[in-house]
Amino acid sequence: MKKGQAALEFLTTYGWAFLVILVMIGALAYFGVLNPQKYLPEKCIITTGLDCTDWQITKGATSYARVHITNNLGSTITYINMTSTSCSTVAVNNSGISSGVSFDMVCTIPAATLTASVGDKFKMPLAFAYTKSGGTYPKTAYGELFATVQQG
């Protein structure tokens, strides 16, 4: 009889300890301590040749994603257009962009798509369709923008 009681008390004690640990992990997750996005750095990555040098995501009456890009393809771009599943409209730059020259692309983000609050990080895929000078066929460059949402 005493062996059964000792085993039951042993398992009960460890059960309570396990329950306390689960509650503590739940509390840490609830208060955002275990949120890895909070600690990840901002980044803007595009295929080699189009370098993302600066970026910004703003949330306001109208929300925008702005990307400052440098043409390092080694030739002039005669047409470029940025698309993203997060954007509704994009400002298109159709003029010739010489090698080494920087330019801005701006996309309007619908309120329903920008789910992050101001101060949180938001991730959006990017795609750039461009044509090189003297080229016949358009090329596509893919990338990703991961940035803190700022008040617009």
pLDDT tens digits for 33-48? 887 777 889 999 998 8
Can you give the pLDDT at residue 1? 57
For the chain, the average pLDDT equals 88
Residue 145 and residue 134 in contact, taking contact as beta carbons nearer than 8 Å: no
Q: Is the CB of residue 68 less than 8 Å from the CB of residue 54?
A: yes
pLDDT at 145 over 60: yes
How many residues comprise the chain?
Answer: 152
Q: Whole-model pTM?
A: 0.74
- Residue 52 has what pLDDT? 92
Q: What average pLDDT does the segment 77-93 reach?
A: 82
Q: E-assigned strands of 110-152?
A: 121-132, 139-151
User: Counting Cβ atoms within 10 Å, is residue 63 exposed (0-12), middle (13-18) or buried (19+)?
Assistant: buried
Place of tokens 């798509």: 113
Helices (H) and strands (E) in the chain, counts: 1, 8
40 and 146 Cβ atoms separated by less than 8 Å: yes
